[in-house]
Amino acid sequence: MGFFSRTFNFFRIKKSLAIDLGTANTLIYDRQKKKIVLNEPSVVAQDRKTKKVIAVGKEAREMLGKTPDSIIAVKPLKDGVIADFDVTREMLRLFLHKIYGRSPFKPEVMICVPLEVTSVEKKALFDSITGAKKVYIIEEGRAAVLGSGVNISAPEGNMVIDIGGGSTDIAILSLDEIVVSKSLRIASNTFDDDIIKYVKKKYSLLIGERTAEKIKKELGTAIPLEEEEIIDIKGRDLITGLPKTVKLSSNEIYEAIRDSLYEIINNTKEVLEKCPPELVVDILDNGIVMTGGGSLVRNFTNLMEEETKINVFLAEQPLESVVLGGGLAFDNRNLLRTLQMKENT
Ligand SMILES: Nc1ncnc2c1ncn2[C@@H]1O[C@H](COP(=O)(O)OP(=O)(O)OP(=O)(O)O)[C@@H](O)[C@H]1O
């Protein structure tokens, strides 16, 4: 049975859903209810032997790195793309069941995907959505601009940098179309990996993914701070094998993530260099919108502004702009025509 078929087979009444199937979080926007009805981590806990799903979302995330041998907690999406189709389908089925129970509706679905998802991945994705009435696929970059309140149908250039968990999408749009774009596999999860490596090298301390993420959110900064912040971090000493606590400062975390921050900045400059001159003028006027969880690293918008010499704005809801944009895309008839991938009658 196809990827989404079991998920959507029982839907019959009209419903429009935008789904942001993110590496870190899955969000579902219900157009009729005009709100986000689900926002949960993209994590699944399975029985190691039978592969039976035990928990999804928040509950499964709590189990990451803490499961007994018989249970594994997995992230079915990696680097912004689906790494395990079966588990992703099951996760989505359970999420939808959680919100709608066994409601007999057959939705039209807008799926938000990273800019550079391969045509094979796209095909596999929409081929398998057999239970949905219509399927649209929208690039996250385009959805993010829409969701940040920008009118992408106007004949003027707009630029967005969407830094998610597994992928960063940089795009310049005009007249509903993407004019220049780039997708990187360097994003906010890369900052976590950088922190794990830094702490291991400098302090011989082993920390887990969740601790690294917490450090990033609390101490992460894209510009060194004059008044340093310091927190205690617990992990396992690689030499003695015993638990150990060390003090980490915000400027050490800056040092740890600096190279990845600059990768994103340098790629942004490359996209700007490829942009037609007329649109660059618009971007100078309109500024750049940064969105996605990674854009929340302290001072990142300031550093981007300093490096590109263009005004940079943080989207109002950086963690939600993609799915909100996916929902808004249903209202744009011209855009819809270009996004439709499949219709089931
Ligand atoms: N305050 C914060 N500071 C830094 N990073 C943050 C903050 N809040 C969330 N993040 C990070 O943002 C990422 C999640 O962002 P987002 O939900 O936009 O990604 P996603 O859509 O799931 O991923 P992708 O678009 O790559 O599939 C996580 O790596 C998370 O750690």
Instruction: Compute, in angstroms, the gap from residue 164 CA to the centroid of ligand 1.
Output: 5
Ligand 1 atom nearest residue 163's Cα: 18
CB 41 within 8 A of CB 61: yes
How many independent structural domains does the chain possess? 3
Same domain, 60 and 42: yes
Same domain, 177 and 314: yes
Same domain, 93 and 216: no
Q: Of 5-19, 149-163, 282-296, 329-343, give the lowest mean pLDDT range.
A: 5-19
Q: Is the pLDDT of residue 211 over 50?
A: yes
Tokens 């079915």 identify what position? 76
Q: Is 326 in the pocket of ligand 1 (CB under 6 A)?
A: no
* pLDDT band, residue 1 (cuts 50/70/90): very low
pLDDT one-digit tens code per residue, 224-251? 999 999 999 999 999 999 999 999 999 9
Q: Is 189 in the pocket of ligand 1 (CB under 6 A)?
A: yes
Q: Which helix (H) or strand (E) holds 215?
A: helix 209-219
Instruction: Compute, in angstroms, the gap from residue 12 CA to the centroid of ligand 1.
Output: 34
Q: Is 294 in the pocket of ligand 1 (CB under 6 A)?
A: yes
ipTM: 0.97
pTM for this structure?
Answer: 0.88
Same domain, 332 and 221: no
Contacts of 292 (CB under 8 A, 6+ apart): 144, 161, 162, 163, 164, 168, 187, 188, 318, 319, 321, 322
CATH number at residue 239: 3.90.640.10
Same domain, 127 and 47: yes
User: Measured at the alpha carbon of residue 123, what is the angle toward residues 25 and 267, in degrees to the nearest 5?
Assistant: 55
Query: Is 317 strand, coil or helix?
Result: coil
Instruction: Compute, in angstroms, the gap from residue 292 CA to the centroid of ligand 1.
Output: 6
113: domain range?
A: 5-144+322-343
Strand-by-strand arrangement of the 312-314 sheet: 177-184, 168-174, 158-163, 288-291, 312-314
pLDDT of residue 123: 65
Same domain, 308 and 171: yes
Ligand 1 atom nearest residue 167's Cα: 26
Instruction: Compute, in angstroms, the gap from residue 293 CA to the centroid of ligand 1.
Output: 3
Please tell me whether 209 is known to bind a ligand: no
Would you give the distance in Å from CA 297 to the centre of its chain?
15
C-alpha distances (whole Å) from 71 to each of 43, 86, 94, 265, 338 are 13, 17, 18, 40, 43
Same domain, 121 and 224: no
| Pairwise pLDDT comparison (118 vs 135), residue with the higher score | 135
How confident is the model over 302-318, as a mean pLDDT? 96
CATH number at residue 86: 3.30.420.40
Q: Is 30 in the pocket of ligand 1 (CB under 6 A)?
A: no
d(CA 281, CA 294): 27
Same domain, 17 and 85: yes
Same domain, 284 and 163: yes
pLDDT of residue 37: 96
Q: What is the mean pLDDT of the chain?
A: 88
Same domain, 181 and 195: no
Residue whose CA lies nearest to ligand 1 atom number 6:
293
Same domain, 160 and 122: no
Instruction: Compute, in angstroms, the gap from residue 55 CA to the centroid of ligand 1.
Output: 21
Residue whose CA lies nearest to ligand 1 atom number 25:
164
pLDDT of residue 134: 83
Same domain, 155 and 284: yes
CB 268 within 8 A of CB 161: yes
Please tell me whether 24 is known to bind a ligand: yes
